[in-house]
Amino acid sequence: MQPERRKSRRTANACIACRQSKIKCSGDEPCSNCKRRLIPCRFTDGGNKVVVSEKYLQELRKQAQDHRQGQPHHQPFSPGQPSPVSQAESISRPSNETSFGSILESHITPLEAIQVDVSPETTTHDQLEIFTNPFALPSTIIKNTHKNRRHWIWLAPSSTWSFNVRLSVAMTDKLQFRLENSPPSALGADVYPLKWRSLPDDVLPDISGIPSIDRALYLFNTVKFHIGHHYQFIDDQTFLQNLNEFYYGNAQEKALELRLWFVQFLIVLAFGSAFLSRAKNRNEPPGAGYFVRAMELLPDLGSLWKDSLLAVEVLALAGLYLYSIGHRESANVYLGQALRIAQLEGLHTRLPESELGHETVERCRRLWWTLYIMDRHFSTSLGIPMSTTDSDISALINSSTTGSQEDTILNLQVKLSHLTSVILRTIYATDKTELGAFLEKTKSILHTLAGHAQEIEEIIHAKFHNSVAAMSQGTRHITLLYHQCVILATRPLLLSVLKERLEKLGRADEDWQGFFELTTRLITTSIKSATKTIQILSEDDNQTDVFLPFDLEFIYGAALHMVMASSLFPGVTDGQGYVQQAHSIFDDMIGKGNKLAQGHRAELAHLETLFQELTRQSEQQGLETLTLRAPDGSEYDHFGSQHASLGPEIDPALVMASVPPTIGIPLSIGGDMPPSPTSGTTQPLTNMEFLDNIGISSFDFFDIVDQLGQPEMENSDILDPQLM
């Protein structure tokens, strides 16, 4: 009798994703919801298929036979250690390219074919533990020195902003090494004190000191140039129409009638003045005069929501200005208000174009995703939960009618901002985790980054093909965001080495072989991203933004990573040289009037002193010198390459087969490419060379993922691809 064909699952047996989302499941395998969302569909009864190697299957059979015969096989599993079966069940083969979808699906190669040899030897991964966030518990606080009623400042465990302070406190305690002067910190007194008092609604706005219309238009276009590739929260048509009516009509009456637009206008003047200012030794931030006047005229929050989209734009602008001058807490408050009003207007949903019109829907779409990016940025900086969860969002990222490069860059910025929040929420959630679990999460993140790298490669290819310009501001920004994600995802490995080294002071029992066998490739990848970040910011021909906080955060994060890496691994090629390049960038920002850069530079110098003390004590106590070596014993350099070959070379042409071999465009961004054999002439860079110069390689990340194994995607970290 032929066995009956397996029947489809009943609806009552919902998959894990549908249960977590609390939506009706079709019960099929895969269910209709998971097929639509392009995510793995898993049921809890163990019905999913698992692919393991034949060698591993034989090992399981031998273990079972030994168990029946009462013979021990290898080491027994401890209660806290996962069994080989549980490890095998944790491995799946999701077919979606990235955990956040992709608008360039045709350019992303799926990895369904990756096979993983899950041999018994790999079970030892989980016997090792790493400190993913060694300074997380208990919560760290410092005394508040601001002139307000706060008694302490909470240093959030996942905060990128306070990481340096937590690191300094921990190292100072462990090394028992205290400098005479306390380390300066951006968490201390306000660098730029700023105060204002709200004016009643019936007070006439002060229009004195407003620049001419030519100057105003110049400042407006300056703001668009500096902010437009990051955020899109000014509707140009409406703003310019009101601007003309203000200058060519009754200015006083216009300012009174459209009070909130006049507030927006003043904030735009503040940003424009700040971008053009190079004043030094000022106690107030650049553009503060216009900004304070704007905030004094800002309507009461109880009625501000009635101004709808304009209120959202104004609050977001105010939040960005405050964040740029170091008032992060206040910035987060204003951004939170903007998000609440946006939700009241339904901007996080797919609005009906037939009723509102295409232009209005497009304005809402751009504004919402700008708020999303800002929320992820502010929240990860402060280490607080996001204001809006991804499951509540149904707004489209891309325009329904256009596919411009601006939309492509906005899409990637949304994805990378989302990924940053995922990294901090998952990897940094606990102070210690098993190495196997960490590598599993890292595989998923690197797999996503590989997909994003392909999208950046496509943008670079399109830019080279259609333009004679070097890398645009928008592409530059997402490239730096990309490297920031790499650094954040792999930084726990350096933290774990640092924590262990601090704990081993006074003891000589060190055994790093097992740890470095599994993590060396990831550590060198993180060092490469740090060096590429410093290179891009050093060689971008004065494109470094002095007022906005992004470049300052990029360079500080990369420099701190290099300080840690060059101290823990003295063999890192020219590690100190890159740190000195970072100091030069800080000096340039300071010379142009950025007082926040001055504080960051001093903090970095203080941490350098602590790491030098760690090196001194390690050498004094005879601790071994740590090196990053490949499996064949050759040493990695600071770009993640080996000084000896690991095997057959892979033809790079196979990786970028669809990219033209050479585009005759000389570019200024570079650093590690060998000199041209032709002397006296500037040779054009190929796409491959340019991508290598900026550290973007989807091939490298797919190769790392292939070595680690196919990633396990978490349902909670996936946005509906239909939003793309």
pLDDT digit string, tens, across residues 433-487: 888 888 888 888 988 998 898 888 888 776 555 544 467 888 899 999 999 999 9
Helices (H), 45-200: 54-68, 84-89, 163-175
Least confident of 75-89, 278-292, 309-323: 75-89
Predicted confidence at residue 22, as pLDDT, reads 65
Q: What is the pLDDT of residue 79?
A: 31
pLDDT beyond 70 at 34: yes
pLDDT the model gives residue 222: 96
Which residue is it, tokens 């998971």? 34
Highest mean pLDDT pick, 22-26, 102-106, 261-265, 466-470:
261-265
For residue 667, is pLDDT > 70? no
Task: Choose between 45 and 259: higher pLDDT.
Answer: 259
Tens of pLDDT, residues 67-86: 655 544 433 323 333 433 33
pLDDT of 261 reads 97
The share of the chain scoring above pLDDT 70, in percent, equals: 68
The two structure tokens encoding residue 713: 């995607």
**Distances in Å between the alpha carbon of 232 and those of 178, 240, 364, 366, 392?**
46, 15, 10, 6, 22
Q: What is the mean pLDDT of residues 565-578?
A: 88
Least confident of 65-69, 172-176, 280-284, 585-589: 65-69
Question: Does residue 220 have a pLDDT over 50?
Answer: yes
Decide: 265 and 209 in contact? Cβ < 8 Å.
no
Percent helix, strand and coil across the chain, each to the nearest 5: 55, 0, 45
Q: Contact 233/347 with Cβ under 8 angstroms? A: no
Bond into 200 cis (ω within 30): no
- Residue 98 pLDDT > 80, yes or no? no
In angstroms, the Cα distances linking 426 to 16, 412, 445, 488, 717 are: 19, 21, 10, 12, 10
The number of beta carbons lying within 10 Å of the beta carbon of residue 16 is 15
Cα(695)–Cα(718) distance, rounded to whole angstroms? 26
The Cα–Cα gap between 482 and 374 comes to 16
Report the percentage of the chain scoring pLDDT > 90.
Answer: 37
What local confidence, expressed as pLDDT, does residue 146 receive?
Answer: 62
- The whole-number pLDDT of residue 50 equals 54
Contact predicate 621/508, CB 8 Å:
yes
Angle at 84 (CA atoms; ends 80, 85), nearest 5 degrees: 105
Of residues 307 and 182, which shows the higher confidence score? 307
Q: Are 604 and 590 in contact (CB under 8 A)?
A: no
Whether the pLDDT of residue 550 is over 80: the answer is yes
Pull the structure tokens for residue 131: 């400190």
Tell me the pLDDT band of 636, cut-offs 50, 70 and 90. low
pLDDT for residue 391: 87
pLDDT at 414 over 90: yes
Going by pLDDT thresholds of 50, 70 and 90, the confidence category of residue 184 is low
In contact, 640 and 573? CB cutoff 8 Å:
no
Give the pLDDT score at 415: 93
Q: Give pairs for 94-97: CB < 8 Å, separation 24+.
A: 94/39, 94/40, 94/710, 94/711, 94/712, 94/713, 95/38, 95/40, 96/38, 96/39, 96/713, 96/718, 96/721, 97/451
pLDDT score for 73: 41
Report how far residue 236's alpha carbon sits from residue 242's, in angstroms, rounded to the nearest whole number: 10
**What does the pLDDT read at residue 700?**
82
Tokens of 143: 């005394």
- pLDDT tens readout for residues 592-615: 889 999 999 999 999 999 999 999
Cα separation, 580 vs 200, whole angstroms:
52
Residue 625: pLDDT above 70? yes
Is residue 624 scored above 70 in pLDDT? yes
Q: What's the start-to-end Cα distance of the chain, in Å?
A: 50
Collapsing DSSP to helix, strand or coil, 297 comes out as: helix
Separate counts of helices (H) and strands (E) for the chain? 25, 4
- Cα–Cα–Cα angle for 148, 149, 152, nearest 5°? 100
Residue 540's pLDDT band, with cuts at 50, 70 and 90, is low
* Second CATH level (architecture) for the domain 1-47: Irregular (4.10)
Of the candidates 88, 49, 93, which has an alpha carbon nearest to the alpha carbon of residue 443?
A: 93
Which of these ranges, 110-114, 526-530, 577-581, has the smallest mean pLDDT? 110-114
Distance from C-alpha of 719 to C-alpha of 364, rounded to nearest angstrom: 19
Q: Between residues 139 and 117, which one has the greater pLDDT?
A: 139
The overall average pLDDT reported for the chain is 76
334-381 per-position pLDDT tens digit: 999 999 999 999 999 999 999 999 999 999 999 999 999 999 999 988
pLDDT exceeds 70 at position 136: no
Contacts of residue 26, defined as CB under 8 A and 6 or more positions apart, other chains included, come to 11, 32, 33
CA torsion angle 424 430 432 437 (round to 10) = -70
Average pLDDT over residues 507-525: 83
Mean pLDDT of all residues in 307-328: 95
Residue 7 pLDDT greater than 60, yes or no: no
Tell me the C-alpha distance between 616 and 594, whole Å: 34
Lowest mean pLDDT among 235-239, 303-307, 665-669: 665-669
Show the 3-state SS of 230-258: CCCCCCHHHHHHHHHHHHHCCHHHHHHHC
- Tell me what pLDDT residue 312 has: 97
Least confident segment among 44-48, 192-196, 411-415: 44-48
Residue 72 near residue 78, CB atoms below 8 Å: no
Identity of the highest mean pLDDT range in 41-50, 259-268, 383-392 = 259-268
Q: At what angle do helices 163-175 and 550-568 cross, to 10 degrees?
A: 30
Amino acid at 47: G
More confident residue, 177 or 643: 177
Predicted confidence at residue 575, as pLDDT, reads 83
Of 719, 674, 665, 676, nearest in space to 692 by CA = 674
Mean pLDDT throughout 118-143?
58
Buried b (16+ CB within 10 A) or exposed e, 120-152: bebbebbebbbbbbbbbeeebebebeeeeeeee
pLDDT for res 428: 81
Domain locations in the chain as residue ranges: 1-47, 213-392
**Does residue 618 or residue 75 have the better pLDDT?**
618
Residues 209 and 273: beta-carbon distance below 8 Å: no
Q: HSE-up of 451 (CA within 13 Å, CB side)?
A: 27
State both tokens at 654. Answer: 């196979």
Residue 709 in contact with residue 457, Cβ under 8 Å?
no
716 vs 311, residue with greater confidence:
311
Q: What is the pLDDT of residue 402?
A: 64
pTM (two decimals): 0.75
Q: Is the pLDDT of residue 382 over 80?
A: yes
Strands 433-434 and 129-130: antiparallel
pLDDT at 216 over 80: yes
